[in-house]
Structure 1
Amino acid sequence: MNEIILSKVSYAQSTEFICYDIGNMTVLRNIVNYGLAMKSRMLSTSTIEQELRHLVELENYLRARKLKIDSLNDENLALYRDNLLKKTISARSHRGVEEKSKITVNAKLRRIYHWLHWLQSSGMCRSNLIGPRGSVRSEVRQSSNRSLQTSSWKAANSYSTPLCFRTSFQNSSHVTPRQLPTERTVDDLHAYFFASPSSNYLVYRNSLFIDIASRVGLRRGSINSLNTNQFLAEDIANSTDEFWITPSKQKKNYSNSFPIPKDLAIQISSFIENQRAELIIKKRIKKPITKVESSYLNAVVSH
């Protein structure tokens, strides 16, 4: 059986990942190029490595059954999902808890869906491998997700993941509000904030408020109770597709934990390290700060 391995190569203060097919002595460019694409998005080395290992695990599963990526369909992807669940439940870290194991498996499946969409859009797999009528069914949705890594706001795509397990958290009334803001509403709010004369800090802070509310479903009080210690860059890098947090203030004094999409958690961490840090420095050297800036200093992400 040919084994696929992932090697990390560091040189000149840079780290690259090479994926080998040991038996055929070839490089799997569909995984290597995906790693380079993630690096171009400024994702951390640990995040890239973790995501690539999910793909290597899938490749090895397929090779053991004499299948290729182009052979994927809903049926054999569901079999892979079930195989992952059995392995995850038996892992010491999950202690046989099925609900927790399903959340972990879902995170891996989402990475696979995202990779397949990327492969298809890059012309690195057969056409119609994935899509509304593809062998692997998945719809592309326009998302109002933004990136705080640059000064401009870039729209991204999200994808439906039909084979992910339903979990009790997904069925919770907390994440199924009676009214959901449309993407147009969210876009209009972002445009309003960035056109306002507010400080750089307030613009990004208010935009994050909207993203957390629309993508996670947290109430205003819960968002205000979040603090910087909950968004440490190292913890986020070591997470899977979702980053779990527990707001200190919740309705009826609950202590529920909620998943924040990893890209949004990265944005919050970036805000803490940049816009918020700049405001604190300005305050320490006693430069003028408006009353609004001062009153919001501890909102959303504060000590």
Structure 2
Amino acid sequence: MRRPVYIQEKIARLLLFISVLLTLGVLSAIIFHIFYHGVSGLSWEFLTQTPRNMGRDGGVFPAIVGTVYVVLIAVLVAAPVGVFAAVHLAEYSRMGIWVGVIRYAVNTLAAIPSIVFGLFGFTFLVIYLKLGWSVLSGGLTLAMMILPTIMRTTEESIKTVPDAYREGSLALGATKWQTIRLVVLPNALPGILTGIILGIGRSVGETAAVLMTAGSSLQVPQSVFDPVRTLSLHLYLLAFEGISFEKAYATAAVLMIIVFVTNFLISFVIQKMLIKNTRESN
């Protein structure tokens, strides 16, 4: 005998609720574990000093600066390319074999392990282009990694913009590009920023690709051609080589704080944009 529909719905809702609780529980456990062991090591000196004695003493200021530099280069390169490519796929190209190949290539690129990106970056950027282990090499490698995420998220966001907006703009005499620039992209901007958030989150926590392209320097980089050590790489070396687990937990706490603050600020901007768009539409 088939179960009533409402019983099936209650079971499905219960399973979804349990899944949400498990996800939040795992996240809370990780956050609590990191901050429980790492907060005691946080101090102003730890945030502003240079590492000493291979990281056993001193702070993580060069790693913070290096992380900001590398991620900034990655976003500045990947965001425009990803957005323009997504606009072309969503607004200008027609469904065909080449569009299918491009989408397949983007999906494949998103599934490639980071160590493969690191190997490619080391071979092409560090050796062939002779950029060396540098901020620029690490940033360009991370840009290739986050490009598929930004591109796919932007394309899906553009598709959610109602066709009535486009038709109304074109009916008023706007060109195709004016419609995209003044109507489509502003309405799709929250989704675009969400893709950039995901890209930042992945690039901030990346280790393997950065290790093979950005190098590992304990000094603040003076230019984009200097080697640099990011927070994730500094954390990996402290823990993997057994240098100092206390400093490793403190570094992990700093890394998580940076991710939380970045996500909060961008999410705040997204909410403001959504409120503004809602008011304008009303």
Higher helix proportion (structure 1 or 2): 2
Higher strand proportion (structure 1 or 2): 1
Superposed pair shares fold, TM > 0.5:
no
The interval holding the TM-score normalised by the smaller chain is: under 0.3
TM-score, scaled to structure 2: 0.26
